[in-house]
A and B are shown apart, each in its own frame.
Chain A
Amino acid sequence: MNTNWNSKKFDDFSKESLYKVLNSLNYNEIVLVVQQNIFTSLNSLFTFTELTENTSVTKIVTIGDQLETDIKDILSSSPNMNPVFLIDVRLELSLPTQLYEFFKLYHLPDIKVIFTSWDTQRTNDLLNLQVDKQLRVSHFIHSQIESATPNSEITLLPWNVVPMPYIDADVLNCNLLYNYNGMNMYYPKMVSMESATRNILIDNMANSLQSLLKNTNTVITQSVAIGEESKKLVHLLKRRIEGRRSSDEKFEVETMYNENKNAIKTDLIVVERSIDPLTPLLTQLTYAGILDDLYDLGADEKLKDKDIALKFRVDDIWEKLKFLNFGALGPRLNQMAKDLQNKYDSRHNADSIGEIKQFVDSLGSLQERQRLLKLHTTLSSDVLHEVENNDSLQFNKILDLEQNLLLDNIDYSTSLDIILGLIYEEEIDSDKLIRVICIFSLCRNGIKDKDYDTIKKELIESFGIEICFQLERLAYAGLFINKSMFVSFQKEKKSFNQINDITLVWNKEYKYISKWLDTLPEEDSDNSENHNVPTNPKEATFAYCGVIPLLYRLIQSLYDRSIMSKHFAAQQPFIISAQPDLSMTEDLYEQIFGNAKIAESIIWNMDTKITAIKSPVLQKMNFHNNDKVLITFLGGITLSEIAVLKFLQEKLKAKNVNKRFIIISDGIINGTRIINGNYYRTSK
C-alpha cells in the first residue's frame, strides 16, 4: 500500500483533476472565466502555456467589473469560443456578486461552471441524484444560478483539489481561513455568524484532511484534539471516514490497524487558535515571520509589498534560512557568501582542462546562487532598516514592552502608563498599538474596568470613533476584555452578555501559565556551552521575544513530559512516549482553561466507539518508526510557530521519538491579520 506523503504529488493531483474536468467538456476552444481569488492558486499550479497545451483553454478572463465587456469582446471576435466559469465558493457558499449580476443580465443558454471542491464533499452527490425534478434538492450553486437566469441549462462540474504545500514540503496550507472579502472564518466580523462560519471552516478542513488521507492511503491510528472546535473536527472526520468505509476496507483496517498490531502509526493532532490567542499577537523574530509581518507573505508565496516570490523548492538559501532567528541570518549569509567566493576562486586552482570544464559547467548554478544570495542579503538589510528606523513600527520598543509584559517585569500601573503614553504619542500604527493592548489584556486576564474604559476613550480620541467597533469585536473574540467581563465569563462559563458568546479565554493569568509550562525559560548564563545563541538555539525561544509558544509546549507534552515534571507536577505517567498521550494532564487543562475536558484523545479503528484513554498506556514503544503526525491548525498558524514545531520535531528525534510532523493549517496568520480580520478598515 502506498502511504507516501510526497507533497509535490498534491500539486499534480489538483492540476490533473482540473485538466480532466476541462477535457471532459469536449469543447474545441474554451475561454476560462476565473474568479479572482483562485487566480493566484492557478498560477502556482501551472503556467498558461501548460494549460493551453493540456486542455482546450485558449483564453483566461477574470471575474471582475469588466466581465461583460471582456466576454462580449471574446465571443464577438471568435464565436466558437465556449465560456467556462471557474469559481471557488467553498467558504462563501454564494456566487461572486459580479458573476451573479452577469448571469442576471445575460441569460446564457448554456452555462458550464467548474467549482472548487473536495473529492469527499458529499453535497456533490446532489449533482447525480436521480429524483423527480419536483423533489430534487439542487446543489446550492445550481439554485443560485437558476435564480439569476431561470431558463438556462446549467452544468456544474466539481474540481477536486487537495491542500498545497506552502513554504515547506511538510507544511500544507489549505487556504481556507479567509473568504474572498478577506474575512477570517474563525473570528468572523459578525460575531453572531461565528458558529456558521466555523462550521463551514470545519467542514472544509474535514474534507481536506479526508481527501489527503484518501490520496495517500493513510489511516489515522490516534488523535488528540485540544479545543472545542478541534474536537468537533475530529469527531466529524472520524464519523465521515468510518461511515464511508466499504466492508473490504473495514476488514483491511481492522486487521492492519488493530490496537495490538504494530502497524504504521499516524497521529492526528488538532489544535485551534483560541487555545493560544497570545502568540500571533507577538512580534515574530524568525526570518519568514518577520517578512510576513513587514511585507505580507501571500498564499502564493509572494511578498506582496515587495513583489518577490520565495520558492522553497528552487531557492535553497530561503529553505535554509526561513525558520532561523533573524539575528542568525547575518553569520549564515556571510558563510554562504564565503562559500560562494571559494567556489568562484577554485577556478584559479583549476589546472587541467577537465577541472576548468567542470568549473564552467557549474557556472550557471553558481550565478543563480549568487542571484539568490543577493536577493536575501538585500531583503534582510531592508528588514534591518525598517526595524531600526521606522517610527510607526518602533520595533525594538514594542519588542521590549512585549517581553516585559510577558515576564511580568513591570507592574500593572507602569504597563498601563507606557501604553497610554504610546497612545498619546500617536506615532505607532493603531494595529500595532492594539496588538500590545491585547497582549496586556490577555496576560492579565482582563484590564481593570476603569482603565479599560480609559484606554478605549483615548484610542477613540486619537484614531476616531471607528476604532470602537474594532475593539468591540476584539472583546467578543476574548482578546481585549475587562475584569468584570472575565469574572462573568468565569461564572457563566459561556458568555458575558446576552447577545453574543465570547470565545474562550485563559482561566489564569499568563504568569502562572508561563511558570507551569516554562514558556519563558531563564537563560543559563553560567554555562556558556548551553547558552542560547541565535545560530544554534537550545530552546524554542528563538521565534519570539524569548517566549516559547504555548502550543509548542502543549504538543510537546503529548510526547515528552520532562518540562511538566519539572515545573508543574513531579508525578508524570511517563517522560517520553512514542504515542501522543494526554493522560494526567486534566489538572493542567483545568488550571489553564477552566475545563479539564478541553483536550481529548481517541484511539481510532477500535470496535468500541469513542473511548478516551483513561489510564496511562505505556506499551512496547517503537521508537524507530518514522511515523507521521498530522498537526492540524484551526484558525491559522504563524510562520514562527511552524518554525518552532519543526524545531520540536528535531528535539523529539534527539530523544528517540522519530516522528515526521506534517503541518496542515487552514491559513497563515500574524498579528496584523488577527487584528484586521476583525475590524473596520478605515480609508485613512
Chain B
Amino acid sequence: MIENPCFNWEKLQDIFYRNREICGLEWPSIDKQQKQQHETVFSTSTVVISTPDTIEIFDYTGSLLLSLSKKKFGEIVKLEFNENEELVIVTSKTINVVKNYLPLEIEEFDVSNKLNGAIWDYKNGTILTKETQDIYQVLNNDKLNLLYKNEGSFTILTKNHWNCNLNKIILLDINDVLEFVIEKRILSNILKSQWHRVEISNSGFVCLYNLKFNKLRVFKDPSTALLEHDLEVIPTDIKWCSDDSIVCSFTDEIKIYGPGNTYISFWYPNNITSIATEIDGLKVITKEKVHLVSRVPQSTANIFRIGSTEPAAILLDSLDLLSNHAPKSIANLRLIDLKVAVLECIDAAKHEFDITIQKKLLSAAAFGKASLDKNTFDSNIFVEACRLITLLNTIRSYGFFITIDEYCHMKSGRILNLLLTRHKYYEAVKVCELLNDASKFSILFKHWAVSKIRLSSDMEDDELLTIIKNQLKVIKFSEMISLNDIVHVSYLEGRFKLAKGIALMERNPQLKIVELLEMDENNVALEEALKTNCPELVLSFLLKCQTSLTLSQFTKLLTLDMPDNQLFLYSQSFLHEEFLFDYYRQTDRFFDLGQLILEQSKKQRTIQPFLSQIKDLYNHYQHDHLLKHEVDLFKKEESLWKYQDNLSGIFNENFNELSLGATLGKLIEMKQDRYVHELVKEFKISDKRFYHTKCKVLIDGKRFDELQQFASERRSPIGYLPFYKYLMKKKYEKEAVIYINMISGISYEQKKKMYLECNSYQEAVQIAKKERDIGGLREIFKLVPADQTHLKKLINEIIGAI
C-alpha cells in the first residue's frame, strides 16, 4: 500500500501546500562563516556558487559545468539567471551572458560609455546606476533603454530597497514607496511610509518588509493591504512561493503566510541555506537536501484529501476494490461523473514525481476511460499525458528536477538547449526522440557538429568529415537538417576542406549551392546545380556568378563546366543577344554564329546582306559535307544576285529577290530568248525545270502557237502530260486536246477520259472505235450533247459496224 501523499500536506485557509524532497545536495555546501564571501544563485536547472576568486556553475546532480576566474571580470555587481537560464554576470561596466560552456562563449555588452555612471545594481534586466540612480533597461543584451532619469526624485539606500519584475519597479525611497510602470514610464508615489525591503511576484503582488517593526505587508493595489503580519523572529530571507504566497525562511523552518494572521510552516532537519522562487513553488535548500514547497493542485487534493468523496477519489478507490469486490467497484463507477474523474486522475498524475503514484493514477484513469463512450472522451488526452509523463520522467532522470508547470513554462526548446550546453547529446537525442520533432533534431545536430568542429582542433578534416557524415546517416529526420550553419562554422575555423565536404552533404540543393558559393567553389557549386536538373536553379546561380565574377572568369566557367549545355546562352538570347555573339566568337563556334546572323536576317526580312557572312563562317567546315555543299549553294545564289542586278540594269525591271525559277519565268515572259539561254547554261537549270517553266509561262501568256512549236521542237523530257494539265487548269480545253495523243505510256481508258474532259467527243469516239469498245461508245453516246446529232449518228453506226 502506497503511503497517502497527503500526510505531509499543510492547509493554509483552503489551500494545501506540500513539501517534496527533490534531490540531495551534491554541490559544496557553504558554512555560515563563508557566507560573507560566498554567494549562491539558483535557477531551475543550474546552481552558481561564487567564491572570492571563482564563479562555479553546477547542475543539480553536482557536476561542475564551468569554473570561471573572477579576475577577468573585475568588480562583480550581480550574478543572475535570465529567462533562458543563462548566467548573467554583471560588473560595474559590462553585462556578460554565458551562452555556452564548452567552448566557452560569453556575450559581453559593454555599457560603460552608454551609461551615465557605473552599474550599481541589476535585477531582471533592469539597471540602477551608481550615484545618479537612474533606471535603465537592457534589451537583448545589446541595447540600452533609459527608463527614468532620477534627478533627485528618490534615493535608494541599499540594494534591498528596490525590486522589479518585467512590468513594474518598486522603489523604496526614505519615507515613500514609489512605483514605476515600465510600459507607461510613469513614476508615482503609492505609499507614504518607511520600508526596508521589497519583493515583487511575477503576477505583480508586492511584499514590503519593515526591519524596524519586523513587519510584512502584501498588496497588489497599494490602497488595500492583502495581509499584514508582525513577525516574531527576524527572517533570514523573504521570497515568493510561486507568485501568490509570501514565504519567510528562518534557521530551520519556513513559514507561508496567509491573510488574517494565519500561517503554516514546514520544518527541516537541517539548517536552511537558501530559498529560491520557482514558477510554481519555492525551492528550499538545506545543508543536505533540496526541497520543493508547492501548492497541491486541486485535482491531487481531490483525490488524496482524507475523506474525499470527489469523483476522482472514488475512481481511485474503485480500482483498489476491483480485485476483491469487482461488482462494487463497477457499481461505484455509476455513481460518479466518470469523465471528470478520469481527467482529474490524468491531471494529478502529471503533477506527481513518484513513479508508483503516477502509475496508479494512470491505471485508474485507464480503468475509468474504458467505461467511457468514445464520443464523450478523446483518448488522445490520455495518450498525450502518458507521453508527457514519460518525457518528464526522462528529463528528471537526467538531473533536471522540473515540474509539469515548469516544463510548460520552459518549453521543450529550452530543455533541449540546457542539455546541449551541457553536451549531453545522448540525453538530448532521447528527449528529441520522445518529442518526435524534426526541427529539434536539426538544432541538436547543428549544436553537436559545431561543438565537435570547434573542440576537435587536433583532428584532420577528413576524420571529422567521416564522423559527421556517419552521425548524419543515423540521425532521425536527417533529410530535414540544414547544414548551413555547420558549413559556416567550419569555414570560419579555416577548415575549408571540411566545409566543402559538409556542404556537399547538404540535402537542400539551394542551400548547398549557397554554401559552396560562400567558399568560392564556383565550379563545384555549378556542378551541384546541374545535378538537380533544374534549369531555373542553374540559371539563378549563373546570374549570381555573372555579377560576382569577372567576364573572363565567367566565360571560363561556362565553357569548361557546362560546354554541352547552352542554358545560359538560351536565356540570354531573349534580352542580351550581344552576349551570344561575343561568346560564340570567343569560343570559335562559327556554325552557331552563322545561326545568329541568320536570326538577324530574319528580323530584317532579307537574307542578302548576311549571306556572305554566313558563307564565310560555314567555310570553316571544309570537311563537313552538308555545310560544304551549302557553301556552294550560297556562292551560286550570290552569282545569281549579281546576274539579276545586271538584268535589272539592262531591262529596267526589278529582278531582285526572285528565285532562280522565277527569274527564268520572267525572262521567258519577256521573250528574251538569248538571256533565257544564257541563264539556263550559266546556272545549270535542269531541262525538266526549263520545260515546266516555259510551258507554264507560255500558257499564261496565251502563246499557244509557241507552245506547240516548243512541244514539237524535240521530245519533251517531262512528257506531254504537264502540257495537258497546265492547259486544263486554265480551262483551255481546245488547246489541250492536241497534246493528249502525244502523251505516252497511258492507257486507252485514261486517254478516253481526257478527251471527254475536254469535251472532245469526236476524238473519244475515234479511239473507242479503234479499241472496238462498245460499252465505252455507249457511255460517250450518253454524254454527247443533244444538238450534236451527227455525232450520235456516227456512234450508232460504229456500234452497228462492230
B-binding residues in A (CB < 8 A) = 92-97, 100, 121-123, 125-126, 129, 131, 135-140, 143-144, 189-193, 195-197, 199-200, 202-203, 206, 232, 236, 247, 391, 420-421, 424-426, 449, 453, 456-458, 460-466, 468-469, 472, 475, 484-485, 497-500, 680-681, 683
Q: Which of B517-538 contact A (CB under 8 A)?
A: 517-518, 532-537
Interface: B710 (CB within 8 A) = no
Q: Known: A135-B514, A457-B633. Is A93-B685 also a contact (CB below 8 A)?
A: no
| Complex alpha-carbon distance, A680 and B595, angstroms | 11
Q: How many Å from the CB of A162 to the closest CB on chain B? A: 18
B565 touches A195 (CB 8 A): yes
B510 touches A126 (CB 8 A): yes
Interface: B585 (CB within 8 A) = no
| Complex alpha-carbon distance, A191 and B564, angstroms | 11
Q: How many Å from the CB of B621 to the closest CB on chain A? A: 7
| Complex alpha-carbon distance, A284 and B477, angstroms | 54
Q: Which of B648-692 contact A (CB under 8 A)?
A: 657, 659-661, 685-686, 688-689, 692
Q: Known: A135-B514, A468-B630. Is A425-B692 also a contact (CB below 8 A)?
A: yes
| Complex alpha-carbon distance, A424 and B592, angstroms | 33
Interface: B720 (CB within 8 A) = no
Q: Which of B550-568 contact A (CB under 8 A)?
A: 564-567
Q: Known: A137-B510, A460-B660. Is A453-B575 also a contact (CB below 8 A)?
A: no
Q: Known: A121-B536, A195-B566, A463-B659. Is A131-B484 also a contact (CB below 8 A)?
A: yes
The interface stretch among B132-140, B374-382, B539-547, B700-708 is: B539-547
29 A-B pairs within 8 Å (CB atoms) are namely A92-B574, A94-B572, A94-B575, A97-B575, A123-B540, A126-B537, A129-B511, A129-B514, A131-B484, A138-B540, A138-B543, A143-B540, A144-B543, A192-B566, A196-B567, A199-B533, A199-B567, A200-B570, A421-B722, A424-B693, A425-B692, A456-B629, A456-B633, A458-B686, A461-B661, A461-B685, A464-B659, A469-B598, A497-B626
Interface: B508 (CB within 8 A) = yes
Q: Which residue of chain A has the shortest Cβ distance to B590 in the bound complex?
A: A499
For the complex of A and B, the 6 pairs showing the least CB-CB separation, nearest first, are A94-B574, A123-B536, A424-B692, A143-B543, A461-B660, A93-B571
Interface centre among B517, B535, B591, B688, by most chain A C-beta atoms within 10 angstroms, is: B535
Q: How many Å from the CB of A534 to the closest CB on chain B? A: 27
Q: How many Å from the CB of A469 to the closest CB on chain B? A: 6
A92 touches B571 (CB 8 A): yes
Interface string of B150-165 (1 = CB under 8 A from A): 0000000000000000
Contact of B605 among A196, A500, A683 (CB under 8 A): A683
| Complex alpha-carbon distance, A192 and B575, angstroms | 19
Which A residues are in CB contact (< 8 Å) with B686? 458
Q: Which of B616-663 contact A (CB under 8 A)?
A: 621, 623-627, 629-630, 633-634, 637, 657, 659-661
Which B residues are in CB contact (< 8 Å) with A137? 510, 513-514, 517, 540-541, 544
Interface: B798 (CB within 8 A) = no
Q: Known: A94-B575, A469-B598. Is A138-B544 also a contact (CB below 8 A)?
A: yes
Contact of A497 among B533, B589, B611, B621 (CB under 8 A): B621
Which A residues are in CB contact (< 8 Å) with B605? 683
Interface: B607 (CB within 8 A) = yes
Which A residues are in CB contact (< 8 Å) with B623? 498
- Knowing that A140-B571, A391-B729, A462-B659 are A-B contacts, what are 9 other residue pairs whose CB atoms are under 8 Å apart, sorted by A's residue number? A131-B484, A137-B517, A140-B536, A195-B564, A421-B722, A426-B692, A457-B633, A461-B689, A472-B626
Q: Which of B726-745 contact A (CB under 8 A)?
A: 729
Contact of B607 among A136, A391, A456, A465 (CB under 8 A): A465
| Complex alpha-carbon distance, A123 and B696, angstroms | 61
Q: Known: A472-B630, A499-B624. Is A143-B484 also a contact (CB below 8 A)?
A: no
Q: Known: A200-B567, A420-B688. Is A136-B514 also a contact (CB below 8 A)?
A: yes
Q: Known: A192-B591, A462-B659, A464-B659. Is A125-B510 also a contact (CB below 8 A)?
A: yes
Which A residues are in CB contact (< 8 Å) with B624? 497-499
| Complex alpha-carbon distance, A189 and B535, angstroms | 19
Contact of A93 among B535, B692, B696 (CB under 8 A): B535
Interface: B569 (CB within 8 A) = yes
A122 touches B534 (CB 8 A): yes
Interface: B184 (CB within 8 A) = no
Which B residues are in CB contact (< 8 Å) with A190? 566, 570, 573, 592, 595
Interface: B602 (CB within 8 A) = yes
Interface: B64 (CB within 8 A) = no
Which A residues are in CB contact (< 8 Å) with B258? none
Q: How many Å from the CB of B589 to the closest CB on chain A? A: 7
B575 touches A100 (CB 8 A): yes
A123 touches B537 (CB 8 A): yes
Which A residues are in CB contact (< 8 Å) with B693? 424
Q: Known: A94-B574, A475-B626. Is A135-B518 also a contact (CB below 8 A)?
A: yes
A453 touches B629 (CB 8 A): yes
| Complex alpha-carbon distance, A490 and B592, angstroms | 25
| Complex alpha-carbon distance, A421 and B543, angstroms | 53
Q: How many Å from the CB of A132 to the closest CB on chain B? A: 9
Q: Which residue of chain A has the shortest Cβ distance to B513 in the bound complex?
A: A137
Q: How many Å from the CB of B779 to the closest CB on chain A? A: 23
Interface: B5 (CB within 8 A) = no
Which A residues are in CB contact (< 8 Å) with B518? 135
Q: Which of B485-527 contact A (CB under 8 A)?
A: 508-511, 513-514, 517-518
| Complex alpha-carbon distance, A502 and B230, angstroms | 103
Q: How many Å from the CB of A92 to the closest CB on chain B? A: 6
Contact of B510 among A122, A192, A199, A500 (CB under 8 A): A122
Q: How many Å from the CB of B538 to the closest CB on chain A? A: 9
B575 touches A236 (CB 8 A): no
Q: Which residue of chain B has the shortest Cβ distance to A475 in the bound complex?
A: B626
Q: How many Å from the CB of B783 to the closest CB on chain A? A: 22
Interface centre among B539, B570, B595, by most chain A C-beta atoms within 10 angstroms, is: B570
| Complex alpha-carbon distance, A143 and B541, angstroms | 10
| Complex alpha-carbon distance, A247 and B574, angstroms | 43
A192 touches B532 (CB 8 A): no
Q: Known: A137-B517, A475-B626. Is A93-B570 also a contact (CB below 8 A)?
A: yes
Which B residues are in CB contact (< 8 Å) with A93? 535-536, 539, 567, 570-571
Interface: B718 (CB within 8 A) = yes
A125 touches B539 (CB 8 A): no
Q: Which residue of chain A has the shortest Cβ distance to B608 in the bound complex?
A: A465
Which A residues are in CB contact (< 8 Å) with B477? 247
Q: How many Å from the CB of B476 to the closest CB on chain A? A: 8
Q: Known: A123-B536, A680-B602. Is A131-B565 also a contact (CB below 8 A)?
A: no
Contact of B517 among A135, A391, A420, A424 (CB under 8 A): A135
A139 touches B540 (CB 8 A): yes
| Complex alpha-carbon distance, A462 and B621, angstroms | 27
Interface string of B361-374 (1 = CB under 8 A from A): 00000000000000
Q: Which residue of chain A has the shortest Cβ distance to B726 in the bound complex?
A: A425
Q: Which residue of chain B has the shortest Cβ distance to A684 in the bound complex?
A: B657
Q: Which residue of chain A has the shortest Cβ distance to B543 in the bound complex?
A: A143
| Complex alpha-carbon distance, A461 and B637, angstroms | 9
Q: How many Å from the CB of A218 to the closest CB on chain B? A: 22
Which A residues are in CB contact (< 8 Å) with B627? 497, 499
A197 touches B570 (CB 8 A): yes
Q: How many Å from the CB of A208 to the closest CB on chain B? A: 14
B514 touches A485 (CB 8 A): no
A122 touches B537 (CB 8 A): yes
| Complex alpha-carbon distance, A94 and B591, angstroms | 24
| Complex alpha-carbon distance, A119 and B570, angstroms | 25
Which A residues are in CB contact (< 8 Å) with B534? 121-123, 203
| Complex alpha-carbon distance, A468 and B610, angstroms | 14
Which A residues are in CB contact (< 8 Å) with B598? 469, 680
Which A residues are in CB contact (< 8 Å) with B517? 135, 137
Q: How many Å from the CB of A387 to the closest CB on chain B? A: 18
Which B residues are in CB contact (< 8 Å) with A426? 661, 692, 696
Q: Which residue of chain A has the shortest Cβ distance to B533 in the bound complex?
A: A236
Which B residues are in CB contact (< 8 Å) with A200? 535, 567, 570
Q: Known: A93-B535, A121-B536. Is A425-B722 also a contact (CB below 8 A)?
A: yes
